[in-house]
Structure 1
């Protein structure tokens, strides 16, 4: 597990080395964030859709022997499952709910605190109703205050009111975390996307290489979970990260996933026993 951050290297420069690493892998687990990774960030979160190339690349990966695909998102599980088809595994609410092997598991602490999250979202709906374009998203286990479209002068007001409401009505059971022009409200205990990725990876065969691609602060725990034995890829940004590699946008994510699909198929074919020949 990586403990320090550094400047990720441009992925395009490292494809030959990555190919060699994949050649030694017994299998491949590809975990993908959604917003900002498969889908471009948009003003209205309800309008987010994966790019066509990413949709096709994920479908190809999902159909490739030896590759398991998973989407690990801050969105609610029901929401993200409707937005992208193909992956075998879905983790919603930063991994607090996990769909795999035909069943859905919800973290018991998050389940117990869902009523408090619901109450906070209701209070914030009223408290922030006068702020233009501020949106409260109740995801049952977590809540999100969206202020991407809020006038810049009103952003400090959104932050102040949100922290005030959570401090007063959330108590020690709830915490606030930050993301790209959002405030996330969730149960206060040690859990994040990295924990979800570790759970998913534990079901894979030994010597499986884990790839995680994401674009936000909430993805850093997943990068730490997969590095240095796996491959962490940060989308966008200019600062340090626990990921080893960086791509610039969902467009470059699609290029990498397409390459990964063709490489995975090539390696799977190389592992197949030769066909029998007639005497």
Structure 2
């Protein structure tokens, strides 16, 4: 069953449910978006770094025996791995690249269409060169057109040009999806962060509580993958979402992750302790 979209509640109001979920689990899977979640959104994507508090909290979780940590990002795998240490699993390009257990898997459809993504990114470099501060990021399997620093009057023009180029050269092989001040170019088939989270969760023991934290439209499929049995946490306002909880900023993400690495982990560890039978208790 999938949770219907509604306004996610502040995380403080959801702590009783979170505690109950952790108390009933043997392990926890914590999946984290990067930009806007561990790292504040910045004008230049190359300058994005996790806050020190999030870096420390992730390191603590990564060293907690009952916790599996994963980063699930729209960034290329090599990019996001350089920005945050600790997690045992990394999913890049919205899960089209998955690094775990010492191996890297690339979705075969995305691999086949990478040359077309590369061609479109090259065309866009030329077509958008007159748009101030418009940045095209070629991530090999996907591409991103960044509008965050584009003057407001020029942004609709840049978006129209981008859509025209993808329609002309992408055909049925590629599609556009929207994010926060970006357009994403990727292979046109049913795939998203939620699929990556489901793959990661499938390797965990049955009594594992799954938590996903993210801030953008592309995170909604991941919220749907963990809710309602697990916990989806949206970073941002109370707009309708498949996540049941929300925090306002990466700073509040750090606070929750710190709580999870201490109190939350203790709740899971406590659930692992066998209950004494009446004979044993005598």
Q: TM > 0.5 between the two?
A: yes
Kept in 2: contact 1:65–1:268 (CA 8 A): no
Aligned to 1:225: 225
Aligned to 2:104: 104
Aligned to 1:216: 216
Output the CA distance in 1 between the equivalents of 2:130 and 2:169: 20
- Residue 54 of structure 1 aligns to a residue in which SS? helix
Q: CA deviation at 1:268?
A: 5.2
Aligned to 1:84: 84
Q: CA deviation at 1:237?
A: 2.7
Q: Structure 2 regions of 5+ residues with no counterpart?
A: 275-282
Kept in 1: contact 2:26–2:269 (CA 8 A): no
Output the CA distance in 1 between the equivalents of 2:103 and 2:269: 31
Deviations 1:7-27 (A, max 9, x none): 101101221331122011011
Aligned to 1:190: 190
Output the CA distance in 2 between the equivalents of 1:126 and 1:269: 56
Output the CA distance in 1 between the equivalents of 2:9 and 2:268: 27
Aligned to 1:11: 11
Kept in 1: contact 2:19–2:267 (CA 8 A): no
- Residue 261 of structure 1 aligns to a residue in which SS? helix
- Residue 194 of structure 1 aligns to a residue in which SS? helix
Query: What pairs with 1:59-208 in structure 2 (closer than 5 Å)?
Result: 59-208=59-208
Aligned to 1:53: 53
Flag the 1:151–1:215 CA change in 2: closer, same or farther, 3 A.
same
Aligned residue pairs, count: 274
Q: CA deviation at 1:77?
A: 0.1
Larger deviation, residues 213-222 vs 237-246: 237-246
Larger deviation, residues 8-17 vs 246-255: 8-17
Output the CA distance in 2 between the equivalents of 1:18 and 1:221: 20
Larger deviation, residues 122-131 vs 255-264: 255-264
Q: Structure 1 regions of 5+ residues with no counterpart?
A: 274-279
Deviations 1:27-47 (A, max 9, x none): 100000000000000000000
Deviations 1:107-135 (A, max 9, x none): 00000000000000000000000000000
- Residue 153 of structure 2 aligns to a residue in which SS? helix
Output the CA distance in 2 between the equivalents of 1:268 and 1:217: 30
Kept in 1: contact 2:9–2:238 (CA 8 A): no
Output the CA distance in 2 between the equivalents of 1:198 and 1:269: 24
Flag the 1:257–1:173 CA change in 2: closer, same or farther, 3 A.
same
Aligned to 1:243: 243
Output the CA distance in 2 between the equivalents of 1:188 and 1:109: 9
Kept in 1: contact 2:211–2:230 (CA 8 A): yes
Q: After TM superposition, where is structure 1 displaced by more than 4 Å over at least 4 residues in a row?
A: none
Output the CA distance in 1 between the equivalents of 2:196 and 2:269: 30
Output the CA distance in 1 between the equivalents of 2:193 and 2:165: 26
Q: CA deviation at 1:269?
A: 4.7
Output the CA distance in 1 between the equivalents of 2:85 and 2:237: 27
Output the CA distance in 1 between the equivalents of 2:18 and 2:140: 39
Larger deviation, residues 9-18 vs 263-272: 263-272
- Residue 59 of structure 2 aligns to a residue in which SS? helix
TM-score by length of 2: 0.95
